[in-house]
Structure 1
Amino acid sequence: MILSGERTTATAATTVLAIGITVVLVGVLTSDPARAAGGACLTITALTLIALRLIRTWITDTAAERSRIQDAIRAADIERMRYLAAQSALGVERDRMRRDAEEATRHSSKQIKAEHARLREQFEEERAALISETFEAAFSMLTTGRLMDSLAHTHGRAIIPFPIEPARTHGRDISRP
């Protein structure tokens, strides 16, 4: 892409080049070395100007770099979209796992409560059976007299009774400690 300043420079350089070559040819045909040398100087100046313009264009032409930057930006946008999609999928998966864990906790809690109730009921049944058996055995021992016999026979051991405290009398005749 040639800008207007560059276009002017290119036009001027081409014109000077054409004039310089013409002056060199006229100088050679007329055998005038000064004119040929002047034409050669104009030609060298024009070629230098053209070379400098080409170098400047080569240095300042950023079309390839801009194209690479656009490709890099496109690739970065694609990667960002992939990242956002993966992050969104991860959030959905995390929410699903949390819901599953909460459901499993509720289910386990219900199972534990049911098991606790079942064990409590079993314990109460066994306890009631033991109490019933104990009362039946005690009643049976009382009716047969074995309970009194077992209390009467201590087999050589003395039963020590609890000490009985004498009753205190409250009145004026008791001194204070």
Structure 2
Amino acid sequence: MTQFLTAALLAEGSVGTPDAGATALGALASGPAARTAGGAALRVLDIVTGRVTSALTNTTTTLADMTGLGLPVVAGGTYLYEFSGTYSSSATGCYIAAALNGPAAGTSGVICNLHLHVGVGADTWHNGCTTAFAASNTPAYVAAANAVTPWRLYGSFEVGATGGTVVPQFARNAGAGTITIQAGAWGWLLRIA
């Protein structure tokens, strides 16, 4: 016998007036304290996602945006994020440098870690994390030419007085070669305050 789930009420109230035939839902209250206290200031769940639809290449040491992964942020917002995918290098000794770019950071700044999965027991992270937008992470890892290596940027940040767009960036380290971000890389931002 086929079983069906009934719709779940995510929160009391609604957000705006929906189009004909659509339903508006409130999801999260405006902050952690309000969520546990049943606060009245509801907002739609603040999560946005992006995806790289075709391979991206960079032959320089200048950071370039990962097209398709630029996501909107609001002034004063605090976010958790993750961007992940695979990359390859055209030459041994040429490895990825990555960063997160965005508008001016707020007082709690930026935390950006870069993790490369290079094999069981051999994962590598950037030694520390960047603490500003557009600051490069470069793990000390050299892959074989054309080897596909998973990468992941993650952390948190607070936006300053002006909103805008946050986007991961990539380049090659000082070694000669081409870094390719494969299609299918993805990412998300979750606004928590």
What's the TM-score once normalised by structure 2's chain length? 0.13
Higher relative contact order (CA 8 A, sep 6+): 2
Which is richer in helix? 1
What's the TM-score once normalised by structure 1's chain length? 0.14
Which is richer in strand? 2
Larger Rg, first or second structure (1 or 2): 1
